């Protein structure tokens, strides 16, 4: 998959590849995956495009607040010949004209206490004051259908708040996976699958270890990159 990105703005990273793999692995148990999917904060469009490519009966929708990323979401959809409807504006404020079967997102999750970049584009893409966690989960609960599926990644240090808010807004936690830089290091990222109107017990997946002892990607991470098979082209836009 070819993906155009800005030379100066936020670029997708390994988190999105890991989340994509997590989504695919969790959807395998369902037959005939189809319906409306919304990529919240689509950025370059990578996450929704990868999932839509994997499940051809899915109808892709993208939501993006920043003009530059609206351009890239649209361009990358056209480049990869995947139809998509783009909602332009703030996720919190958009009045969506339909309900969705699946919502996916790599949202801004750096905490307010972290030192911020001076780049306004990066601030919006990275820091959760542009989309607070409770707003993110609450709004998603209102736009999913009665058995909607919700996949996202987040800063693992905020897991307590994540669990409280998922319960508050009537999500059942279906699966979790922790991502560790190395097997000797603490987890830094959490991958989350939640579902409405479910009573399933939570599945804790095997931790994903990014680097081995030689600082090379582990075989599992190599397979994830092979599966997503993306090629990035950096461009300047006004």
Q: Which domains does the chain have, with CATH numbers?
A: 2-235 (3.40.50.150)
Please give the model's pTM, rounded to 2 decimal places: 0.91
- Taking only the tens of pLDDT, the chain with its 238 residues reads 999 998 876 778 899 999 999 999 999 999 889 999 999 999 999 999 999 999 999 999 999 999 999 999 999 999 999 999 999 999 999 999 999 999 999 998 656 555 544 444 444 444 555 689 999 999 999 999 999 999 999 999 999 999 999 999 999 999 999 999 999 999 999 999 999 999 999 999 999 999 999 999 999 999 999 999 999 998 877 5
CA 128, 142, 40: angle at the middle one, nearest 5?
A: 45
Radius of gyration for the chain, computed over Cα atoms and rounded to the nearest angstrom: 17
| Beta carbons within 10 angstroms of residue 30's beta carbon | 10
Backbone angles phi, psi at 176, to 5 degrees: -135, 145
Q: How many whole angstroms separate alpha carbon 164 and alpha carbon 157?
A: 14
DSSP string covering 18-82: HHHHHHHHHHTTSSS--EEEEEET-TTSHHHHHHHHHSTTEEEEEEE-SHHHHHHHHHHHHHTT-
Q: Which residues pair with residue 38 across a beta bridge?
A: 61, 103
CA-to-CA separations, 212 to 15, 19, 155, 184, in angstroms, rounded: 17, 20, 22, 10
């Amino acid at each position: 998959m070819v993906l155009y990105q800005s030379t100066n703005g936020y670029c997708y990273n390994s988190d999105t590849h890991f989340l994509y793999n997590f989504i695919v692995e969790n959807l395998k148990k369902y037959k005939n995956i189809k319906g409306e999917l919304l990529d919240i904060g689509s950025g370059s469009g990578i996450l929704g495009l990868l999932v839509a490519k994997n499940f051809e009966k899915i109808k892709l929708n993208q939501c993006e607040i920043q003009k530059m990323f609206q351009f890239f979401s649209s361009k990358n959809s056209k480049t990869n010949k995947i139809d998509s409807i783009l909602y332009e504006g703030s996720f919190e404020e958009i009045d969506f004209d339909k309900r969705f079967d699946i919502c996916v997102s790599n949202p801004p999750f750096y905490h307010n206490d972290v030192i911020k970049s001076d780049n306004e584009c990066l601030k919006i893409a990275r820091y959760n004051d542009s989309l607070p966690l409770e707003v993110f989960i609450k709004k998603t609960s209102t736009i999913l259908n009665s058995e909607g599926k919700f996949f996202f990644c987040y800063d693992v240090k905020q897991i307590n708040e994540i669990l409280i808010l998922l319960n508050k807004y009537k999500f059942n936690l279906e699966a979790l996976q922790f991502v560790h830089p190395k097997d000797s290091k603490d987890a830094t990222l959490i991958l989350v699958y939640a579902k409405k109107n479910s009573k399933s017990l939570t599945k804790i997946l095997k931790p994903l270890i990014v680097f081995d002892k030689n600082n090379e990607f582990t075989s599992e991470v190599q397979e994830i990159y092979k599966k997503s098979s993306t090629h990035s082209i950096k461009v300047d836009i006004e």
